[in-house]
């Protein structure tokens, strides 16, 4: 038997151990980025989620100025914690529209009353259809869409206080 071949199983074993250790040490990332970034938003029309706000359609987004689309739900716990950050973005002049996923009108109204209302429009997405259109895989998610309706940024999860600046910059760059 040739000598080097004798060492092959050990080398293979060490290779596998190395792979396992590398895989274990890598932080677990379960986010699924949308493939729609840089692509135009598909055509859609959403009915108003609450009586106090108009609904949302593609035409509203192609008005020439960039928007923030906040995909949220009243039943989503992390959505409650980003209210302050959304209010700050609104105060800085960012127009924010909402998509309420699988939500009831009265629940959305209560949510807005309790946690604040930064939205110009809120469309109701009772069957997650527009969420699929956006390539969004959960709530909350926030998208920056430019004035021509092209998706520029996807922010997965709630916007934390330290992330307000980067979201704002992405919105400015979309102008």
Partner 1 sequence: MPSLRGAKRRGNPAGLRILAGLLRFARNDGIGLLFLLAAAPVFAQSALPPSPYAYTQLEDPKQEAEAKALMESLRCLVCQGQSIADSDADMAGDMRALVRQRIKAGEKPEAIRRWLIERYGDWVSYKPPVEPLTWPLWAAPLLLLGLGLVLARGRFRRRRR
- Contact flag: residue 129 with partner 1 (CB under 8 A): yes
The smaller minimum CB distance to partner 1, of residues 11 and 65, is found at: 11
Among 43, 132, 148, 160, binds partner 1 (CB under 8 A): 132
The smaller minimum CB distance to partner 1, of residues 55 and 138, is found at: 138
- Contact flag: residue 110 with partner 1 (CB under 8 A): no
Q: Which residues contact 35 (CB under 8 A, 6 or more apart)?
A: 135
Q: Measured between alpha carbons, how far is 71 from 150 in angstroms, rounded to an integer? A: 16
Per-residue H/E/C for the chain:
CCHHHHHHHHHHHHHHHHHHHHHHHCCCCCCCCCCCCCCECCCCEECECCCCCCCEEHHHHCCCCCEEEEEECCCCHHHHHCHHHHHHHHHCCCCEEEEEECCCHHHHHHHHHHHCCCCCEEEEECCCHHHHHHCCCCCCEEEEECCCCEEEEEEECCCCHHHHHHHHHHHHHCC
- Contact flag: residue 99 with partner 1 (CB under 8 A): no
Pattern 10-39, partner 1, x by CB under 8 A:
--------------------x-xxxxx---
Q: What is the closest distance, in whole angstroms, from the C-beta atom of residue 104 to partner 1 in the complex?
A: 6
Pattern 62-91, partner 1, x by CB under 8 A:
-----------x-xxx--------------
Q: What is the closest distance, in whole angstroms, from the C-beta atom of residue 54 to partner 1 in the complex?
A: 21
- Contact flag: residue 3 with partner 1 (CB under 8 A): no
Among 62, 80, 104, 152, binds partner 1 (CB under 8 A): 104
Interaction site with partner 1 (CB under 8 A): 30, 32-36, 73, 75-77, 101-104, 107, 126-129, 131-135, 137-138
């Amino acid at each position: 038997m040739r000598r080097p071949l004798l060492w092959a199983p050990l080398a293979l074993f060490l290779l596998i151990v190395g792979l396992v250790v590398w895989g274990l040490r890598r932080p677990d990332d379960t986010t699924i980025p949308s493939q729609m970034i840089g692509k135009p938003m598909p055509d859609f029309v959403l009915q108003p989620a609450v009586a106090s706000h108009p609904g949302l359609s593609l035409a509203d987004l192609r008005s020439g100025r960039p928007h923030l689309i906040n995909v949220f739900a009243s039943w989503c716990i992390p959505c409650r914690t980003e209210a302050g950050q959304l209010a700050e973005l609104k105060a800085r002049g960012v127009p924010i529209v909402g998509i309420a996923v699988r939500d009831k009108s009265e629940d959305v109204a209560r949510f807005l009353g309790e946690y604040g209302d930064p939205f110009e429009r809120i469309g109701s997405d009772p069957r997650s259809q527009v969420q699929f259109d956006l390539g969004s895989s959960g709530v909350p998610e926030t998208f920056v869409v430019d004035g021509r309706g092209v998706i520029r940024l996807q922010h997965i999860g709630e916007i934390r206080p330290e992330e307000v600046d980067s979201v704002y910059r992405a919105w400015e760059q979309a102008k």
